[in-house]
Structure 1
Amino acid sequence: MSEELQKQNINTQKHYAYGEISGKLKSFMYRVSLGANYDMQSEGNGFHNLTFTPLIMAGYNINDANSIRITYNSSTQMPDMLQMSDARILIMNNFYQTGNTNLENSHLQSLNLSYDLYLKKFSASANLFYDYTSNSLFDSYQYGDDCILFQTGNAEKDIRRSVEINLNYTPWEFLRIGGSIGANQQVFQPSKEIREFNYWSYPVSLYLSAQYKNFSFDLYQKFGGTFLSGLYKTGIEKVSYVNLGYAYKSFNINLQCFFPFIKDKYSNETIPGSIVYHKTDYHIKRKDHAFALSVSWNFGVGKKKKSVRQNMENYDSDNGLFKIK
């Protein structure tokens, strides 16, 4: 590598147009969002890509308790400057992180079919998803001149199919119990030269929520598992938290405790198709926990929004282990 500093200019532009119409006609509901992205990169090989990004939703209320919806969504993601540059950073001997001047923006197309059931004490929703991403951006390892290059690439194939079921039971007005379970299939192929990789995952979560007068109690547990992210099998943390709350008029105070009810140990590692084996271990111990106190005062007027469940990662980690095949 030359010791002289080199200056590189990369000219990128992103133009976006958007319009939306939505409404309801008797038992039918609809939403149409018409968008378009024009992504341009003028240096190197460059590209000029026009991508339509619509969102189309059609639904039907069968009766007061049952409804069904189908949604099509399209979106695009532009690589960042470092990913598209020819910069080179030394990670270790004969191993460099570098940009990829041949990168193009990715394009996600998603189809979702949903069914909702609302009863007096029980509600449920079932969702089917199909996601197809062309030119999917992922962390890639390539052979260079007597070295290994770590860079962002455009995948040959990236498909996700999944089903998710959410259940909610309210036996009494003060108590709510629920959870979700899903099954996801992911098909990923980095390039034409490498075979496609097929992977299944089964995410599960449970929660309990109780409220008595001005007091509230929330308990949440997500069970671990793995999912596929590019060349990596990525672990899911067993997230756990307890929330105690008190509300008086416009004043709210909450005490949160984030800690694992279950000992957790998982790893992120590359799939067999990668030329580099990279593994990172994560360990969560029972003694590792955190407390948070929040105080709020609402003095405005507006729509009431649903509470957002908080998530905190709590682990010991290192930089992982690289093995070149």
Structure 2
Amino acid sequence: MGSQGRAAAPLAWEQSAYANRSKITRVGPLHADHADHAEAGETPEGRPTSSATLPSLVVQMLRHGRLHDGMDILDVGTGSGYSTALLAHRFGSSRVTSVDVDPYLTGAAAERLGRMGLHPAIATVDATGPLPGRFDRIVSMVSVNPLPASWLAALRTGGRLVTVISRTSMIVTAWKTEDGGAVGTTARDWAGFMDARHGPDYPPGAVSRFVDRIGQDGEEVGTGRYPVLDVDEAWEVRSMLELRAPGTECAYREDGDGRRTAWLVHPDGSWARATGSKGEPPAVHQSGPRRLWDVLERIRNRLNTRGGLPVYGVPLTITPDGVIHLSRGQWKATIA
């Protein structure tokens, strides 16, 4: 809702602003603020690129940070400025720095916060690169993969970082160690955030790049063991898929007659398409260097036979260059 919407419906604006739900504020390069970017009735196309995050999720992430008075705190992903406002109000503006890649967002947030008497440091930088300062806590409201080495460089020894791994619901919490790395766990909790951007929009994804291929017959055609799944909505399965086939994108469609189709597409050109009705084994087409649906079915089989997947509450270590090593018993995985 832009500035004209706020003036015409102040109560609706107030209810929306304070509702416990996420609000998309930017799609592609187009901001939601009518006064500056969007025309009335305009329907933007593309991926959401910024949002006012679900307030309870913001608080959840801040709690994982184990924040205390006297700490220097970095808020990654300024967005609307909501999390920055909470931090500056509670710990003081002088203790808070917030970064975002979008100069419009950082400028608008600084103006809003200034009107409330809050003046934290707000910088326009690519958060995956060098950071402006040294910190006791880093809490990220965007997801990353891999973990930027610059975060460890900017974190003081004994400091704590909290972030979500891209294309997963895994919250990494870790304490920096004297060797420049970190040690911690994935939280027994879950969250989802937009990926960190490096510019005004996300580059084209694998699904869009290979859209002409993924509707064709596959090099290998067979019948799946499990019914078609909307993988992005099965958070535990989606997280494990990222660990086993990093970078895989998912798409899903359900037709009016209940027929379901799911796609898995990898940047290396591998793809899988499964189609079937609810509860029935699907027809599966696969092509490319790896068989993505086979990877997914092994994950689902582990889930069904063991009752869970090792994605939450997993011990981890992080090397100074940001490589995350996960380990539980004989199971191991690396995020690099």
* TM-score interval, normalised by the smaller of the two chains: under 0.3
Give the structure-1-normalised TM-score.
Answer: 0.22
Higher relative contact order (CA 8 A, sep 6+): 2
Structure with more helix by fraction: 2
| Larger of the two Rg values belongs to structure | 1
Structure with more strand by fraction: 1
Give the structure-2-normalised TM-score.
Answer: 0.21
